[in-house]
Amino acid sequence: MCGLLRARYRYVFVRPFPRDVKLDKLEVWRAVQSSLQHLVGVLGYADVNPHLVRVQKDSDGLIMRCNSKHIRTFVAAIALVNNVGGERVSLDVKKVVGHVEGTN
């Protein structure tokens, strides 16, 4: 029997900088989505397949997931974010791992 290939993902831990700025985490996620869509278009966005996995309350960060083949594109889109909700911020990629447990 022929089985389907399992999709491989990479998990990205992102933290806004400067840390003293209070941001809505969903606005950060929307800014990443918008940046990615401007970078690669709608079809490229579908290939990257980004998802918001978790919002870290204690460390003020987000864990996002994308297709492992497109991790460089996803990180580039995150790096291009410079404005979230009218605040000038940058997003620092702290870790890229293969399992969500590795982001803690």
Fold that domain 9-98 belongs to in CATH: Alpha-Beta Plaits (3.30.70)
Name the residue ranges covered by the structural domains of the chain: 9-98
Query: Which one is predicted more confidently, 40 or 3?
Result: 40
Which own/partner pairs from 41-49 qualify as long-range (CB within 8 Å, at least 24 positions apart)? 44/70, 44/73, 48/73, 48/74, 48/77, 49/7
Confidence of residue 104 (pLDDT cuts 50, 70, 90): low
Q: 């997003």: which residue's tokens? A: 91
Give the per-residue pLDDT at 97. Answer: 93
pLDDT tens digits for range 22-81: 888 899 999 999 999 999 999 999 999 999 999 887 778 899 999 999 999 999 999 999
